[in-house]
């Protein structure tokens, strides 16, 4: 990467400046389909093109730099990200393969929605150019692309490289009850070790924060 760029949140907030109705998603670059789901515009048959704002276009078209976008909920971040991904895998002499991208979000529902939107956008592109071999490949790869949550990505990384971390390959994620017991056990051992070794700093800490 050649540098960093940040989209000013105050500037992004002006996405709705053309309308006082914050529910009017046309002002944030989202095209409503027949089911009320926001879709990035791409000019496909039956899908009117969305007029992106200058700030959204900057996010979509910026290349060769780290990019930080800060915007309020409902301002069109997902639609913009989908459009950026679609352009990366469809435009230029050597478009990317979707499985070469890492797209992370916070919830399984958000990851599933992102995958669905990208898949739908690829299908619409294929309707325009059904003989496009690259798009045909993307339509297959999108089901295996790394569009996932941060937790799932980290778990997959550990499972694929457990040998480098000296972990038992049969490791699993503990449930909340197990994790609580482990935390209590670790804390108990830690306190016992400090009580045994003593030390003025620990004594001061206990006298300051102990409740009994």
Tokens 């791409």 correspond to: 42
Residue 118 class from Cβ within 10 Å (0-12 exposed, 13-18 middle, 19+ buried)?
buried
Nearest to 77 by CA among 49, 46, 100, 110: 110
The pLDDT of residue 185: 96
Which parts of the chain fold into alpha helices (H)?
A: 9-13, 54-61, 77-90, 108-128, 133-141, 150-160, 176-197, 200-209
Q: What is the pTM of this model?
A: 0.60
Confidence check: pLDDT of 26 > 80: no
Confidence check: pLDDT of 142 > 70: yes
As a whole number, mean pLDDT of residues 192-207 equals 87
The pLDDT of residue 211: 78
Band (pLDDT 50/70/90 cuts) for residue 155 is: very high
Confidence check: pLDDT of 43 > 80: no
């Amino acid at each position: 990467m050649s540098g960093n760029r940040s989209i000013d949140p105050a500037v992004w907030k002006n996405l709705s400046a053309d309308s006082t109705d914050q529910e009017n998603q046309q002002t944030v670059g989202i095209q409503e389909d027949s089911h009320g789901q926001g879709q990035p515009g791409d000019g496909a048959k039956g899908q009117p093109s969305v007029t992106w704002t200058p700030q959204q276009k900057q996010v979509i078209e910026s290349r060769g730099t780290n990019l930080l976008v800060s915007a309020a909920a409902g301002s069109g971040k997902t639609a913009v990200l989908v459009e950026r991904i679609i352009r990366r895998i469809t435009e230029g002499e050597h478009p990317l393969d979707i499985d070469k991208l890492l797209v992370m979000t916070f919830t399984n529902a958000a990851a599933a929605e992102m995958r669905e939107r990208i898949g739908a956008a690829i299908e619409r592109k294929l309707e325009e150019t059904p003989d496009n071999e690259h798009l045909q490949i993307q339509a297959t790869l999108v089901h295996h692309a790394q569009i996932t949550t941060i937790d799932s990505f980290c778990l997959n990384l550990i499972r694929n490289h457990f040998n480098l971390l000296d972990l038992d390959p049969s490791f699993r994620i503990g449930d909340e009850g197990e994790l609580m017991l482990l935390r209590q056990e670790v804390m108990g051992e830690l306190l016992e070790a400090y009580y045994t070794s003593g030390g003025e700093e620990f004594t001061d800490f206990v006298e300051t924060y102990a409740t009994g």
